[in-house]
Structure 1
Amino acid sequence: MRPATAAKVVRYTAIIVFGLVMIAPLLYLLSASLMSAEDVGAYPPHFLPPSLSFSNYGEAYSYLTGRTILNSFVFALGVVVLQLVLGLPAGFALAKIPFRGAIAVMVLFVVPMFLPNNVAIIPLYIVTRELGIVNTYAGMILPIAGSTAFSTLLFRQFFVNLPPGLIEAARIDGAGWFRVLMTIVVPLSRPAVAAFSSITFLNAWNMYIWPLIVAPDPKLQVMPVALAPLARGQLSTITPNIGLAAAVISIIPVVIAFLLAQRWFVRGIVGTGLE
């Protein structure tokens, strides 16, 4: 066997092995979600369900309720849309519009990215309470949507790589900055938008601390908050197999979103230089 061929075989073998190690917990989660409660607790453990219990998903949905799933979509999509509306123009301005103090503005966006997210929870909650929007969708969404450091810097890095001739030609023809943004920049930004939307949707969908603190009303409960008691075993009425089925339901939207945006996601990450 040629050295190049042997190296390729070793490389692909390592990739497959590491891939199987990474995906094994998810495969077991899916398998266990179709088992009975007795099969989940059996020893030695079953890696494949002896019998399929699809009713687990019906009971899991009844526990989660459609309202909880809707709340998660409202929260995650609200964060994505508002951060997109704020971050995309800001990134374009930093990348293509010359103005005084651009470096200082960049520093203001970079610094928060090095701070732990939990540092801002108390100030955010105080502001949210003073505005009177605790226990509302606005209270859940607006403080998180205002954290635009990541989106602004991601779009800024993408726009820096755009050919300057496109924008200069539009400016010579008399187009204002807003028109340049809407007619030239936004149509070219689909890869960056897909990358940003996928990452932000995943982060917002999995967010636990902030929705728990700012929206304790059960009517505003999101998926991670609903799943937490199952992970801690606090609900004796919910068996482990039902909890595992609920966990599978919670990851389905994220998987679908990533699969739909996968092609643009990869192109966006490459284009922004965040590899």
Structure 2
Amino acid sequence: MSTSATRRRRLTTGRALAWAYLIAILFVTIFPFYWILRTALSDNYALMANPASILPVGFTWGPFKRVLGLATTEESIAEGGSGASVEIGHFLVNSLIYATVSTALIVFFSTIAAYAFARLQWRGRDFMFSLFLTALMVPGILTLLPNFVLVKELGLLNTFAGMILPGALFSAFNIFFLRQFMLGLPTETEEAALLDGAGRIRILFGITLPMTSGPMITLSILGFIGMWNDYFWPLLVTSDESVQPLTLALAVFKQSSPQAQPDWAGLMAATLVAALPMLGLFMVFGRRIVNSIGFSGIK
């Protein structure tokens, strides 16, 4: 057998193994989403009778109607629902406010701090940046209790301010990420602007920020997703439905069943509705996220 034929055989085998691996990873990643959809399209009574079915059991749109408030109590109970409802529109708005305002404040203040560390010369800058980096080594769970006590003493429990402010002014990772990118930007334009009499604030907003838009959008998307999925911190500081995000509403909906088990079909339907904005966000901006992380670099 010739060398070229052996090389072709090895290449074909390698490609086959690579494709098999990718298909396996894709299956493991996508199957939970399919299982959620299959459960959301099932009747609860039929689901209990045949829980291992791959296809929806007793196909129905009832769970989505219950979640969206379109089903009556009688219709809900007839399909194995609890009769409880969730004002998903109200909680979606709460989640949108919480995630949007938090993300905007975090990225804004992180950008200003990153510019100070990357472009300004001041005594103790490098030492202070090292202190900032130590925050990356502190588990977030350790800061929950001090932040809760602070929010309580300020009288901000059950408010959007109480949920947003503790994490809005400082993000060690965001500052580090943006600083590393700014260090790689050319300084000639900024130096020319300084010679023309422009101030640092004008340079920051007129020159540096437009060149940093890619990483800022990346951090905004990742931050928005993190805030949208946040559960434990809102659980600590809110008990009023007027400000609770959707993640807490789903937990309450799960526990509201007076029957032997929760309304799993309705819960999965609500989960899908809650996940749709994030799926759309990834579909639109997924390539930008990968590219921004790729070219930002570590210097």
| Same-fold call, TM cutoff 0.5 | yes
Query: Are residues 264 and 34 of structure 1, via their aligned partners in 2, closer, same or farther at CA, if it must alter by over 3 Å?
Result: same
1:259 deviates by 2.0
Matches within 5 A, 1:20-169: 20-43=27-50, 45-50=52-57, 52-62=59-69, 63-65=85-87, 66-169=89-192
Superimposed CA distance per residue, residues 150-209 of structure 1 (whole angstroms, 9 cap, x where no aligned partner)? 221111122122123332333333322211211112112222022101211111111111
Distance, in Å, in 1 between the alignment partners of 2:194 and 2:149 is: 44
The CA RMSD over aligned residues, in Å, is: 2.0
Aligned residue number for residue 235 of structure 1? 257
How many residue pairs are counted as aligned between the two chains?
A: 273
1:138 deviates by 0.7
Whether the aligned pair in 2 keeps the contact of 1:64 and 1:223 (CA below 8 Å) is no
DSSP-derived class of the 1:49 partner: coil
Whether the aligned pair in 2 keeps the contact of 1:190 and 1:264 (CA below 8 Å) is no
Aligned residue number for residue 271 of structure 1? 295
Distance, in Å, in 1 between the alignment partners of 2:41 and 2:179 is: 45
Gaps of 5+ in 2: 1-7, 70-84
Aligned residue number for residue 247 of structure 1? 271
**2:213 paired residue among 190, 196, 204:** 190
DSSP-derived class of the 1:132 partner: coil
Whether the aligned pair in 2 keeps the contact of 1:40 and 1:240 (CA below 8 Å) is no
Whether the aligned pair in 2 keeps the contact of 1:140 and 1:214 (CA below 8 Å) is yes
1:229 deviates by 3.9
1:69 deviates by 1.2
Larger radius of gyration: 2
TM-score by length of 2: 0.84
DSSP-derived class of the 2:156 partner: coil
Distance, in Å, in 2 between the alignment partners of 1:245 and 1:44 is: 17
Distance, in Å, in 2 between the alignment partners of 1:215 and 1:79 is: 16
TM-score by length of 1: 0.91
Superimposed CA distance per residue, residues 117-154 of structure 1 (whole angstroms, 9 cap, x where no aligned partner)? 12111111121122222111111111121232122111
Structure 1 window deviating more from structure 2 (115-124 vs 221-230): it is 221-230
DSSP-derived class of the 1:26 partner: helix
Distance, in Å, in 1 between the alignment partners of 2:109 and 2:163 is: 17
Superimposed CA distance per residue, residues 3-60 of structure 1 (whole angstroms, 9 cap, x where no aligned partner)? 3343233223311211111111111111211111134324352222255422311211
Distance, in Å, in 1 between the alignment partners of 2:193 and 2:12 is: 51
